[in-house]
Amino acid sequence: MRKVIRKFVANEVAPYVEEWEEKGEFPREIVKRMGELGFLGLRYPEEVGGQGGDYFSVIVLAEEMARCGAGGFPMAIAVQTDMATPPILEFGTPDQIERFLKPAIRGEKLAAIGITEPNHGSDVASIQTRAVRDGDDWVINGSKTFITNGPRADFITMVVRTSDKPGYEGLSLFLVELDRPGVTISRKLDKVGMRSSDTAEIVFDHVRVPQENLLGEEGKGFYQIMWQLQGERLIGAAGAVGMAQYAYELARDYAKERKAFHRPLSQFQVVAHLLAEMATEIEAARHLTYAAAYRFARGEVPTKEISMAKLVAAQVAHWVADRALQIFGGYGYMMEYPIQRIWRDTRLYRIGGGTDEIMKEIIAKQMNI
């Protein structure tokens, strides 16, 4: 499967990344293509249109997608496969699976996940976007920001406040079609990196959604989104490992070809030792990620270990990208070389899905420190 995905990325993604980065978005056709190939439902059961694979199939997908040389498009696909849709399978009704999950697996509908708000990020319990019951419907008012796929998504899996209960007790999840009256893409965000993934701020002004779009149990949204975040962080760790591996390979190959003082850079001890250290850090991050993924695949939710994997993999990815750029020297700082894009893209791993600081806070609490 890894060989098949790697061939697909090399032939159908990597040649077009520069174009997508320039445009700030990827074509919807590539999502449909991935759906046709079964890549969007690798670990989903066959009865919902998936391939019936194990959890490691999406770990492989995340690693191999990074070989396109950009983080934006792989991140958008990860939102589709492992952020916006898992709660539908876990908590959704048969009707919701038919209307949202199956079309997403086929690549016919593009999904987004909505947690962060302009004034609320890591503190999920403080979310202000509100849904008020009105007969058989709910009326949603508020806004979400940093929404990957937001400008073109067909629906968003979002957490909103449905009662006046304090903190996390009043939160619920909804599936909201983004063509409903009152939904506005207030602005498309201009990011430092991950540019082939379009990102938006979305405003909800008296958006009416039916009761059947409530995902799971009313008032249990905090628990449901915390469950979702474990998978999001784990797939983020896998993507970071994949990006680190690709950056390392670029630097290694460049060091073998580039000559200084009549010999390849790789023959200088300082470069050889740096490459050895990079490879070691990547392998450590990979094994920590795989260990957490193994437990997650068995039905466990090892929050501490997932947070550790996300923290380490994110830091290693950017550390490796920074060292790889250094090996490229002045060329690494030129826009024509892909290492500069990887350097920019890997910085987001330490922010999205939970910052380094939040991961440390979770780990400390799990250790009763």
Given a contact cutoff of 8 angstroms between Cβ atoms, the answer to whether 282 and 344 are in contact is: no
Position 297, amino acid:
A
Q: Which helix or strand (DSSP H or E) is residue 227 part of?
A: helix 221-257
For residue 127 the two structure tokens come to 């979310």
| Per annotation, catalytic residue among 64, 117, 232, 305 | 232
Q: Which residues contact 118 (CB under 8 A, 6 or more apart)?
A: 143, 145, 201
**Which residue has tokens 């919701």?**
96
What is the DSSP secondary structure assignment for residue 97, as one 8-state letter?
I
Question: What's the residue count for the chain?
Answer: 369
Given a contact cutoff of 8 angstroms between Cβ atoms, the answer to whether 362 and 301 are in contact is: no
For residue 51 the two structure tokens come to 């391939």
Told to judge if 12 belongs to the known catalytic residues of this protein, a careful annotator would answer: no
Sign of the CA dihedral running 319, 308, 78, 125: negative
Q: Catalogue the active-site residues.
A: 232
